Amino acid sequence: MTKDAFFWPIRVYYEETDAGGVVYHSRYLHFMERARTEWLRQWGFSQERLGRERGLLFAVMKMEIQFLAPARLDDTLTVSVILQEQRLASLTLQQAVYRDQDQRQLIQAVVRIVALDNRFKPTRLPDDLLHALRDPERRTSRP
């Protein structure tokens, strides 16, 4: 785990597992989405407020994911987010999921997020968000 990463804690609940207590593969997408939402929030940007006040939405355009090992019922996990590339209308993020008990990496992913206007057309990211992402000292809180 790198120091430039944002980390978000998750606990695995019964509803996220199959009869054998193993996390459904699709639930990892939820875990990573929550971490990306909180990653944006740490910079002072709420997705709800960006949508309401600026008509800005985000969508996953591309995701490459490797499932390395399973998580199980009651595991505590840490989901990381690292900004890999910043363009005018998109962000590419590296994400990983680790099991806290043994620090084992369970998931490795690269996610490309595109900015959309309220008509679902690609749009430029707001300048204040672009500037915040370039300046790590502008984080509003650290996990």
Catalytic residues: 18
Residue with tokens 């962000």: 91
CA 21/CA 14 separation, integer angstroms? 7
For residues 58 and 45, is the Cβ–Cβ distance under 8 A? Answer: no
Tokens of 99: 């099991």
53 CB-near residues (< 8 Å, 6+ apart):
none
SS3 5: coil
- Cβ atoms within 10 Å, residue 1: 12
CA 21/CA 67 separation, integer angstroms? 17
